[in-house]
Amino acid sequence: GRSDYPNQVNNVLGFPYIFRGALDVGAKDINEEMKIAAAEAIAEMAKMPVPQEVLNAYNIDKLEYSKEYLIPKPLDPRLIEQVATAVAQTAIQSGVANKTNFDREDYIKSLKERMKRNKDISAFIDNLNKS
């Protein structure tokens, strides 16, 4: 069974977004700099205001940076934006990426568009299953 408790570290906080960022810039390696960038992005997220959709997903009223909330919740949709972007940018800066030009805002926009498509597809499938 599962046991979720405050500040539980889960692979889902990092690995999918490390891979996303690395793949999007054609990184030939995942180096220490990229891992550190991912960890720092995750740590910074915990200090940001938590979106209502995250609170709703966990059926809680409030989350603020504290000893009970040091790392983001695994279902936080901002993880892909923050972590993948940090990893992609660091891959380019550290010389392991095939892509050399990187516009942070354009990249975040493309990630949001991908996520919206995924949500739309999921909603469509949910509606089919309810029919």
Q: Where are the domains of the chain?
A: 11-102
pLDDT, one tens digit for every residue, the chain (131 residues): 456 677 777 788 899 999 999 999 999 999 999 999 999 999 999 999 999 999 999 999 999 999 989 999 988 999 999 999 999 999 999 999 999 899 999 999 999 998 888 777 877 787 777 87
Residue 68's nearest CA partner among 84, 52, 50 is: 50
Q: How far apart are the first and last CA of the chain?
A: 31
- Is the distance from CB of 73 to CB of 57 less than 8 angstroms? yes
Angstrom distance (rounded) from CA 37 to CA 109: 20
Say how many C-beta atoms besides its own lie within 10 A of residue 45's C-beta.
20
pLDDT at residue 65, rounded to an integer: 93
Q: What per-residue confidence (pLDDT) applies to 75?
A: 86
Using alpha carbons, select from 32, 67, 72 the residue that is nearest to residue 50. 72
Rounded CA separation 5/43 (Å)? 17
